Amino acid sequence: MKRFVDLSEAEILALAIASEEEDARIYRDFAIRLRPAYPATADAFVAMAEEEHEHRHRLVAMYRKRFGETMPSVTRRDVRGFLERNPIGRSAIRLLDPLRLEAVRGQAAVMEAEAASFYARAADTVRDVDVRALLADLAEAEQGHRALATQLKGGLAAGEAGAAEEATRRRLLLLQVVQPGLAGLIDGSVSTLAPIFAAAFATMSSWETFLVGLAASVGAGISMGLTEALSDDGAITDRGHPWLRGAICGVMTALGGLGHTVPYLIPDFWTATSLAALVVVVELFAIAWIRWRYMATPFGSATVQVVLGGLLVLLAGMVIGSA
């Protein structure tokens, strides 16, 4: 791996050409994947990709003028000091697409900041006047891209387009994260109440109750996760990648059950049971608040549905365990 200061002018131009090609590909990938949900941001990335192609043509023309048709193979990975391009456009965004809008915008800001720094440093390194002038011009151009990328990162300031994209982002957050997470939390918090408290009052043993609760929580998490993942591929409903959605649902289901299971690590049975009951109350009111905050359910209605239902399940478990 070479140091930047050891690169020849031909290698600097070759590196710049390869970098422009890579950045243009990434921007076009961003645009394609963001287009269905965020058209205004996608248009901005298309424009940035086209400018990267224009920069590449100018660099290639300069290389041919100075060094002919044979070009050395030099990429960012061959030179020390360059950040590895985050493959968000090729992998992570496919899993979270199109939820990770802010991650994409942030990546673009990092890319443009690095490009502007590279061209400024390269312009100070080369001796040929024409090459120096071209690199300085590209440094200024990348600074303009950097300003646009920073604007994108902070939120697209495009009036109605930006507001529409923010509304879309919130809708996708609701469909892909909040709904499966809430479904899992409700199932884990409520469905495990009866077996856990039945085991508690049947055995009067903290450790045995903990084992039952752990098994019930993990089992419910696996079951709910698989059910959610296999229920809908998300292609039509915009509910996102099925396995991501299933993972969110499964983890929240397990956490919902573990919340009132963990107190039974306390050896004293009645202390553990009192704390577990308190956790149950907090869980139920938290679920009611989430339904009110994200699902537009009146808080009073959500409280009655969730808290009353949960307490009935809790009492059922206690009665059965005491029989």
| Whole-number pLDDT of residue 20 | 92
Nearest to 23 by CA among 51, 59, 61: 51
Looking at the fold, whether 20 and 138 belong to one and the same domain comes out as: yes
The reply to whether 163 falls in a domain is no
The reply to whether 168 falls in a domain is no
| Whole-number pLDDT of residue 93 | 43
d(CA 299, CA 88): 39
Q: Which stretch, 22-36, 211-225, 293-307, has highest mean pLDDT?
A: 211-225
Centroid of chain to Cα 120: 33
Looking at the fold, whether 309 and 282 belong to one and the same domain comes out as: yes
Looking at the fold, whether 195 and 150 belong to one and the same domain comes out as: no
Average pLDDT over every residue of 93-116: 65
Looking at the fold, whether 192 and 238 belong to one and the same domain comes out as: yes
d(CA 208, CA 323): 18
DSSP string, 228-272: HHHH--STTT----HHHHHHHHHHHHHHHHHHTTGGGGSSSHHHH
Looking at the fold, whether 109 and 178 belong to one and the same domain comes out as: no
Looking at the fold, whether 177 and 91 belong to one and the same domain comes out as: no
Residues 2, 80: contact at Cβ < 8 Å?
Answer: yes
d(CA 230, CA 239): 12
| Whole-number pLDDT of residue 82 | 66
Q: Of the given ranges (69-78, 221-230, 231-240, 291-300), which has the lowest mean pLDDT?
A: 231-240
The reply to whether 167 falls in a domain is no
First to last CA, the chain: 74
The reply to whether 83 falls in a domain is yes
| Whole-number pLDDT of residue 216 | 93
Looking at the fold, whether 150 and 248 belong to one and the same domain comes out as: no
Q: What is the DSSP letter of 295?
A: S
pLDDT band with cut points at 50, 70 and 90 for residue 105: confident
Q: Of the given ranges (109-113, 126-130, 161-165, 293-297), which has the lowest mean pLDDT?
A: 161-165
pLDDT cut 70: percent of the chain above it: 79
Looking at the fold, whether 180 and 312 belong to one and the same domain comes out as: yes
Q: Is-cis flag, bond preceding 180, omega within 30? A: no
The reply to whether 45 falls in a domain is yes
Chain segment 121-173, per-residue pLDDT in tens: 899 989 999 999 999 999 888 877 766 665 565 554 445 455 555 655 666 66
Query: Chain-wide mean pLDDT for the chain?
Result: 82
DSSP string, 78-128: GBTTPPPPPGGGTTHHHHHTTS-HHHHHHHHHHHHHHHHHHHHHHHHH---
Q: Tokens in use for 185? A: 């939390």
More confident residue, 227 or 145: 227
| Owning domain of residue 282 | 173-322
Domain C-terminal end among 158, 193, 224? 158
Domain C-terminal end among 125, 158, 191? 158
Looking at the fold, whether 152 and 184 belong to one and the same domain comes out as: no
Q: Of the given ranges (87-96, 144-153, 191-200, 258-267), which has the lowest mean pLDDT?
A: 87-96
Q: CATH number, domain at 11?
A: 1.20.1260.10
Nearest to 195 by CA among 181, 182, 209, 206: 209
The reply to whether 134 falls in a domain is yes
| Whole-number pLDDT of residue 39 | 84
d(CA 274, CA 264): 10
| 3-state DSSP assignment of residue 71 | coil
Rg of the chain's alpha carbons, rounded to an integer? 28
β-strand partners of 94? none
Domain C-terminal end among 158, 190, 217? 158
| Whole-number pLDDT of residue 89 | 43
pTM attached to this predicted model: 0.52
Structural domains of the chain, count:
2
Looking at the fold, whether 78 and 116 belong to one and the same domain comes out as: yes
| Whole-number pLDDT of residue 40 | 81
Looking at the fold, whether 117 and 197 belong to one and the same domain comes out as: no
pLDDT above 90: residue 41? no
The reply to whether 289 falls in a domain is yes
Looking up tokens 């299933």 gives 246
Output b/e per residue, 117-129; b: 16+ Cβ within 10 A.
ebbbebbeebeee
The reply to whether 165 falls in a domain is no
Looking at the fold, whether 142 and 186 belong to one and the same domain comes out as: no
Chain segment 142-153, per-residue pLDDT in tens: 877 766 665 565
pLDDT band with cut points at 50, 70 and 90 for residue 199: very high
